[in-house]
């Protein structure tokens, strides 16, 4: 199996693109580095495509390794044939390879293996021949042997049938056919473990849907329901279909032997094949559903991390609460803590006092924006903030942000190191403030699974989930780039080529030697060698350093080309940032000819031009800003059918999107209500953090459910 050729065919790419990409991966180059700085050799493949190639490459290499193990095992047994070798070579999925290996796989003690030890295999072969002149009962008499443990002809026949049943079960072609049959006409069926029990799984108490059409979120729901003991789940085909498929391949005629073969086939299907095929189908459905859920989580996380930062504003973070009060923290434009406090809102007197303290804190610190966590007491806190703004005016606005993971962060070792003088509750208020100022820099400190977007994230395979989400964070951090002199070690650890140890070493070096003045100083950081420098340098920014190029995404390896470009277009490095005509001047000289003259590729030259015109460009700045509020706070009971509101998408799942419309409870826009056209998946229409206009369809105050639509809303 030529893996590179398979990849080129599967992805519809040129062979050189795949060959070069695989070579870079094998050379331990990171995906962000390959995507950004090796466009010429990959044909400008983006990070998402590169990750798909990486995942598929890993699968195929593992498949090839397993094939080699199986070939060696069968060969050592002296049972390898040309037909078996060809079948293994042609297999493209692991389950096919395992089916071929099944008859040769060392088995634990089974009914068939016991029967073989008793010398009953010749009897099984005689019965399987199905000669109409053979009397199986008479033939079985010859195998009665007290020493071998065969006490009667009936026992001999049963042993022979056990051998036939196992041989039927080991038939790779039959299993392949049955697997296809289950996939085409099978149904996933779920029943209540206790019909009288109330649970969140009541929709699945009498549920059935075709294997070929069942949605991933339903698979995840029944899987969880089964795990929690609320449901009994099975995969079924029409009664008798599986048995008939087995019998039709083995039973011939209507002799006494044929009847025994039919019985063995029925036993094989019910006892051996069906349970195995059902497990495989269930596992395949679950894996596919999990991959789908992980894909949704990845997309949601990407959008959440790439939300536009609210720059240049002194921000008050408010972590709501009743018993322990509302924790307050004011941070300056850079995220440095200026002030902290606690207010209580459990009575009218406390609320009046809370308003006074809040107002004093706002005036004292020149607060521009207020970031309110969306947890317990969030609505009450929002009402107080709204009243303050309405009564006392001032150029202050607020936003309710998700506080998912804030408590996890505030109790972490990282938070203790960052804020040793603050207790856990005040740390969460700081985090909530910083989430508004720079969501990416703050959220990288938190385990992505705790951030609270996606569906059934805690049911996913931990290793696969961690790999996928780490990749998303890595892509986002490197797409934005980080300030080498202000970034935390948490943020630095996601930069291409930098691990957690090196990230801490960078911060330590910075603390001991002062701010970095150029990128080359990175080579003085312990354990950051030339290979790591090559991968990380372009993603790290040095603002106000010795070389203006250090504040761009231009890689040091392209500095010479960048300087030559500037010179040819009549500029110098001092002009970086005010090069409005650079692109036009380069175009006049011809990009292709200019690239050849400068010794670089066209994609890299275009990136250099873009960076020199907008050094340190933050791709998040091009996105619509978050929805800040300053008006009255509504409650669920204030909503009426037909009301149109602006809201922020908080989460996207397979069946719709949850939108925050400012009433504490998020409303659901079902997939059927997202657009006036057919929507295959909600992610095709909306993204986390997107500001949308919605209309209220219905409100259930008792169940706290809001149904929204985006259809016909302009």
Which of these, 461, 462, 506, 466, lies nearest to 482 by C-alpha position? Answer: 506
Extract the tokens encoding 561.
Answer: 């080309």
CB 495 within 8 A of CB 540: yes
pLDDT tens digits for range 433-454: 998 998 888 888 888 877 777 7
Alpha-carbon distance 5 to 14, whole Å?
9
CB 433 within 8 A of CB 316: yes
Which of these, 547, 480, 551, 486, lies nearest to 515 by C-alpha position? Answer: 486
Cβ-Cβ contacts under 8 Å for 470 (sequence gap 6 or more): 448, 494
Q: In what order do the strands lie in the sheet with 187-192?
A: 206-210, 187-192, 231-236
pLDDT at 630: 66
CB 322 within 8 A of CB 377: yes
Q: In what order do the strands lie in the sheet with 397-401?
A: 337-343, 326-331, 315-319, 369-373, 397-401
Q: Using a CB cutoff of 8 Å and minimum separation of 24, what contacts does 124-127 make?
A: 124/159, 124/160, 124/161, 124/163, 124/164, 124/167, 126/160, 126/257, 127/157, 127/160, 127/161, 127/164, 127/257, 127/260, 127/261
pLDDT at 311: 86
Cβ-Cβ contacts under 8 Å for 27 (sequence gap 6 or more): none
CA 165 vs. chain centroid, Å, equals 42
**Which parts of the chain register pLDDT below 70?**
1, 393-394, 630-633
Phi, psi at residue 630, to the nearest 5°?
-150, -5
Which of these, 343, 351, 349, 350, lies nearest to 324 by C-alpha position? Answer: 343
Phi, psi at residue 186, to the nearest 5°?
-70, 160
* First vs last C-alpha separation in the chain: 54
Alpha-carbon distance 80 to 101, whole Å?
11
By three-state DSSP, how is residue 207 classified? strand
CB 216 within 8 A of CB 654: yes
pLDDT at 23: 97
Alpha-carbon distance 109 to 103, whole Å?
14
Helix then strand then coil, % of the chain, to nearest 5: 55, 10, 35
- Residue 14 class from Cβ within 10 Å (0-12 exposed, 13-18 middle, 19+ buried)? exposed
The answer to whether the Cα torsion of 434, 439, 444, 447 is positive or negative is: positive
Q: Using a CB cutoff of 8 Å and minimum separation of 24, what contacts does 449-453 make?
A: 450/404, 450/405, 450/408, 451/301, 451/304, 451/402, 451/404, 451/405, 452/402, 452/404, 452/405, 452/651, 453/297, 453/300, 453/301, 453/304, 453/404, 453/650, 453/651, 453/652, 453/688
The answer to whether the Cα torsion of 261, 267, 272, 276 is positive or negative is: positive
Strands (E), 139-249: 187-192, 206-210, 231-236
The DSSP secondary-structure symbol of 629 reads B
Give the number of other Cβ atoms within 10 Å of residue 230's Cβ.
Answer: 21
CB 441 within 8 A of CB 462: no
CB 104 within 8 A of CB 69: no
Give the number of other Cβ atoms within 10 Å of residue 31's Cβ.
Answer: 24
Alpha-carbon distance 385 to 403, whole Å?
17
Q: Which residues pair with residue 236 across a beta bridge? A: 187
**Maximum Cα–Cα distance across the chain:** 105
Identify how many contiguous H helices and E strands the chain contains and give both numbers: 30, 15
Alpha-carbon distance 518 to 553, whole Å?
14
Which of these, 166, 172, 289, lies nearest to 224 by C-alpha position? Answer: 289
CA 87 vs. chain centroid, Å, equals 34
Q: Using a CB cutoff of 8 Å and minimum separation of 24, what contacts does 450-453 make?
A: 450/404, 450/405, 450/408, 451/301, 451/304, 451/402, 451/404, 451/405, 452/402, 452/404, 452/405, 452/651, 453/297, 453/300, 453/301, 453/304, 453/404, 453/650, 453/651, 453/652, 453/688
Q: What is the dihedral of CA 386, 392, 396, 398, to 10 degrees?
A: -10
Alpha-carbon distance 234 to 226, whole Å?
10
Alpha-carbon distance 301 to 683, whole Å?
12
| Domains observed in the chain | 3-104 (1.10.10.650), 315-455 (3.30.420.140), 636-709 (2.40.50.140)
Alpha-carbon distance 418 to 409, whole Å?
11
DSSP string, 688-706: TT-EEEEEEEEEETTTTEE
Which of these, 229, 227, 222, 228, lies nearest to 204 by C-alpha position? Answer: 222
Alpha-carbon distance 714 to 695, whole Å?
10
pLDDT at 406: 79
Which of these, 522, 327, 335, 358, lies nearest to 436 by C-alpha position? Answer: 335
Alpha-carbon distance 683 to 293, whole Å?
12
């Amino acid at each position: 199996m030529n893996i590179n050729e398979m990849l080129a065919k599967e992805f519809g790419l040129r062979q050189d693109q795949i060959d070069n990409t695989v070579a870079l991966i094998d050379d331990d180059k990171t995906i962000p580095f390959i995507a950004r700085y090796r466009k010429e050799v990959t044909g400008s493949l983006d990070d998402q495509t590169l990750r798909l190639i990486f995942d598929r490459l890993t699968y195929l290499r593992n498949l090839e390794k397993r094939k080699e193990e199986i070939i060696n095992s069968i060969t050592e047994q002296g049972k390898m044939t040309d037909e078996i070798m060809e079948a293994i070579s042609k297999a493209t999925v692991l389950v096919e390879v395992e089916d071929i290996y099944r008859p040769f796989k060392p088995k634990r003690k089974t009914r068939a293996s016991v029967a073989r030890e008793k010398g009953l295999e010749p009897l099984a072969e005689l019965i399987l021949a199905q000669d109409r002149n053979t009397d199986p009962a008479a033939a079985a008499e010859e195998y009665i042997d007290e020493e071998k443990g065969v006490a009667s002809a009936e026992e001999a026949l049963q042993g022979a049938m056990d051998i036939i049943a196992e041989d039927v079960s080991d038939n790779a072609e039959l299993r392949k056919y049955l697997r296809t049959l289950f996939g085409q006409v099978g149904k996933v069926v779920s029943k209540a473990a206790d019909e009288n029990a109330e649970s969140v799984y009541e929709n699945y108490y009498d549920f059935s849907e075709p294997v070929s059409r069942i949605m991933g979120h339903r698979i995840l729901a029944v899987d969880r329901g089964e795990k929690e003991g609320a449901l009994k789940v099975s995969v079924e085909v029409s009664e008798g279909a599986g048995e008939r498929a087995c019998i039709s391949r083995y039973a011939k005629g209507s002799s006494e032997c044929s009847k025994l073969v039919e019985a063995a086939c029925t036993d094989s299907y019910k006892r051996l094949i069906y349970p195995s095929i059902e497990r495989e189908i269930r596992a395949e459905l679950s894996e596919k559903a999990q991959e789908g859920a992980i894909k949704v989580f990845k997309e949601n996380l990407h959008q959440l991390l790439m939300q536009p930062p609210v720059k240049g504003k002194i921000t008050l973070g408010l972590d709501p609460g009743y018993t322990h009060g509302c924790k307050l923290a004011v941070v300056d434009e850079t995220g440095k803590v200026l002030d902290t406090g606690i207010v209580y809102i459990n009575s009218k007197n406390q609320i009046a006092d809370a308003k006074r303290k809040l107002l004093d804190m706002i005036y004292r610190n020149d607060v521009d924006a207020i970031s309110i966590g969306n947890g317990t007491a969030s609505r009450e806190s929002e009402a107080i903030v709204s009243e303050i703004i309405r009564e006392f005016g001032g150029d202050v606005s607020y936003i309710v942000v998700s506080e998912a993971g804030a408590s996890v962060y505030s109790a972490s070792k990282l938070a203790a190191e960052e804020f040793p003088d603050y207790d856990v509750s005040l740390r969460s208020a700081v985090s909530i403030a910083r989430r508004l100022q720079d969501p990416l820099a703050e959220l990288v400190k938190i385990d992505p699974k705790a951030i609270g977007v996606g569906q059934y994230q805690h049911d996913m395979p931990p290793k696969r989930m961690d790999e996928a989400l780490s990749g998303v964070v890595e892509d986002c951090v490197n797409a934005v780039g980080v300030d080498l002199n202000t970034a935390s070690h948490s943020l630095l650890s996601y930069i291409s080529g930098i691990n957690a140890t090196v990230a801490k070493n960078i911060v330590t070096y910075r603390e001991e030697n002062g701010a970095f003045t150029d990128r080359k100083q990175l080579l003085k950081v312990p354990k950051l060698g030339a290979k790591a420098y090559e991968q990380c340098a372009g993603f790290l920014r040095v603002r106000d350093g010795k070389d203006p190029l250090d504040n761009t995404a231009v890689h040091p390896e392209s500095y010479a080309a960048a300087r030559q470009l500037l010179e040819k277009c009549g500029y110098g490095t001092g002009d970086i940032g005010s090069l409005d005509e650079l692109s036009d001047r380069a175009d006049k000289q011809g990009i292709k000819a200019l690239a050849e003259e400068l010794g670089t590729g066209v994609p890299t030259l275009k990136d250099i031009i873009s960076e020199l015109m907008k050094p340190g460009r933050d791709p998040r700045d091009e996105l619509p800003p978050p929805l800040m509020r300053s008006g009255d706070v509504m409650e669920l009971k204030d909503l009426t059918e037909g009301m149109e509101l602006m809201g922020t998408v908080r989460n996207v799942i397979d069946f719709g999107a949850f939108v925050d419309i400012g009433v504490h409870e998020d409303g659901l826009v079902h997939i059927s209500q997202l657009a006036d056209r057919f929507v295959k998946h909600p992610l095709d229409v909306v993204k986390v953090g997107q500001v949308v206009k919605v209309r209220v369809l219905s409100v259930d105050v008792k169940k706290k459910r809001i149904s929204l639509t985006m259809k016909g809303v302009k």
